[in-house]
A and B are shown apart, each in its own frame.
Chain A
Amino acid sequence: MMDFIDALTRYGFLQGALIAGLLTSIGCGVMGSYVVVKRIAFIAGSIAHSVLGGMGIALYMGADPLIGALIAAIIAALLIGGIRLYWKQQEDTLIGALWAIGMAIGVIFIAKTPGYQSDLTSYLFGNILLVPHSSLWFMAGLDVVLLAIVWAYHRQLLAVVFDEEHARLRGIPASFFYLLLLVMVALTVVLLIQVVGLILVLALITLPAAMAGHYVNSLHRMMWLATLIGMLMSFIGLAVSYPTDLPTGPVIVLVTGLAYVLSSLWHHLRRGNA
């Protein structure tokens, strides 16, 4: 452990990785809480995977894959929101289809992109150790946007995730806020892609928030605690992966998953005895 702290003070790439982990924890803690209480993890998963389509097209056109991811994530969120609002009977089939179609488009465009193609794994599994400084600023900017919207509209968002019908009866533009929520989840996905890649995104969105849900009883406390848990897990994951030379993203996910299982057992036992 001391070795890791020592290395952290010396190596810029480790500092960058830690900052990336902390920045993503903010978005995950806040948006993950909405995803968990609204039970839309499957939707978040579909957005995350279909993002590969946008990255592939951007790469093929010689643009920044992150911009492609951002555009694809927002389109996927709006498509899924539209399906849910206007085509509810087929919701899960269509969301599953979008999941696969997005990935297929991405793989095809990446295959057709001339030149060196080792990037695919880093999109799928991320590489937190190679996050450039410009991306850190991009992540911080996304966090600021997410927090500003949540701060301004926390009542409306709570109304929509808690009881959509009641929100509508109170005159809240419920469809708009539901779509806004999905777009914000999409931004969180993009935030996470560089750190853990799009396959592992779902774990970091849902697990810290689900864990926080074991201990607190309001949505805003859930957001705070989930953010702190996410930060701790990123730190531990980085500290474990550095001396063992294991890929960092998957280690962070495993550490978080293990913590979640322990927390669930503890929560279950405590409630059983109460």
Chain B
Amino acid sequence: MSKPQININNLSYRYGKLKVLEDISMQVNAGEFLGIVGPNAGGKSTLLKLILGLLEPAKGRIEVFDKAPEDSRHRLGYVPQYPNFSRDFPISVEQAVLLGRLNHNKSGWQRWLPGRYSASDKAIVKQALEEVEADNLIDRQLGSLSGGQLQRVLLARALASEPEVLLLDEPTANIDQRLESDIFDLLKSLNDRMTILVVSHDVAFISSYVNRVACVNQTLVCHHTDAIDGDVIHNLYGEDVRMVAHKH
């Protein structure tokens, strides 16, 4: 078996004195579609940020492609739960997605070079927008998009950097429920060529898409590695997570 793409060992994280994550160990292998579930404030988003190297673990170790997260993050794509920009920022969809092309595959001193976007950067952006079915939005202002459209554009920005692993934080939390399955169908098809980690609070819904689930509530409550079909996961983890949620 090949080495895991993400390797987490005895990881703990604290926010001030508050324990957020405690002694987490898990591996993610190439080609997986992993659901990270658990109650609100259970540390799911924190786990993603630790994998991305945006936070420093208090204890333990994370390796991404056998390196520190900071040194591998250019191989990861990330779709945050809430956009980090103000909605009235004067920027078009194309310009925003082009930012995903910055420093593509560049390391060390090359990151400091000035420059412009190439024709191939623009072609890849167009392709990424087509893939998420948002190519008709390319000239729109970012601020004029609906929640669902914005989510697709953020996904396109992550895809434009041609990631090997895609991490998504509650990708359907801010959009219409009827669009939820559209987004997950799309992720399912992307899973043919990249590993996917998706954070969600909705175990029942994601169980029919993912092939493995990790339940996080400060510790790793459950972590099943066998491939099981959707119904079984729902029965097992539906109970588990309800139990966890009542454990106050």
Contacts and interface: CB of A to CB of B under 8 A. Distances in A.
Interface of A: 37, 39, 151-153, 155-156, 158-159, 162-173, 213, 216-219, 221-222
B91 A156 contact: no
Contacts of B116: 155
A218 B92 contact: yes
**5 nearest CB pairs, A to B:** A152-B114, A171-B103, A170-B102, A163-B84, A163-B85
Contacts of A172: 102-103, 111
Contacts of A156: 102, 114
19 contacts: A37-B89, A153-B114, A155-B116, A156-B102, A156-B114, A158-B91, A159-B99, A162-B89, A162-B96, A164-B84, A166-B99, A167-B102, A169-B73, A169-B78, A171-B73, A171-B74, A217-B92, A219-B90, A219-B91
A159 B91 contact: no
Given A152-B114, A163-B84, A163-B85, A170 B90 contact: no
Contacts of A164: 84
B43 interface: no
Contacts of A152: 114
B102 A155 contact: yes
B103 to A, nearest CB: 4
B-side interface mostly? loop
A162 B91 contact: yes
B157 interface: yes
B2 to A, nearest CB: 25
Nearest to B117: A155
B90 A171 contact: no
Given A37-B90, A217-B141, A222-B90, A168 B54 contact: yes
A-side interface mostly? helix
B106 to A, nearest CB: 7
B186 to A, nearest CB: 20
A181 to B, nearest CB: 15
Contact of B99 (A37, A39, A163): A163
B161 interface: yes
A171 B107 contact: yes
B165 interface: no
Interface in B137-171: 141, 157, 161
A168 B116 CA distance: 19
Given A171-B73, A218-B91, A165 B54 contact: yes
B118 to A, nearest CB: 12
Given A155-B117, A159-B99, A172-B102, A165 B90 contact: no
Contacts of B92: 217-218
Contacts of B78: 166, 169
Given A165-B80, A171-B103, A39 B86 contact: yes
Nearest to B116: A155
Residue among B73, B78, B85, B116 with max Cβ neighbours from chain A (10 Å): B85
B114 A171 contact: no
Given A162-B99, A213-B90, A173 B84 contact: no
A156 B103 CA distance: 9
A166 B91 contact: no
B99 A170 contact: yes
Interface string B77-107: 0101001111001111001100110110011
A202 to B, nearest CB: 20
Contacts of A151: 114
A218 B161 contact: no
B213 interface: no
Given A163-B83, A218-B92, A222-B90, 16 more contacts: A151-B114, A155-B99, A155-B102, A155-B117, A159-B102, A165-B54, A166-B78, A166-B84, A166-B157, A168-B54, A169-B73, A171-B111, A172-B102, A217-B92, A218-B91, A219-B91
Residue among B52, B102, B116 with max Cβ neighbours from chain A (10 Å): B102
A208 B96 CA distance: 24
A151 B116 CA distance: 10
Given A37-B90, A163-B84, A171-B74, A158 B99 contact: yes
Contacts of B91: 158, 162, 217-219
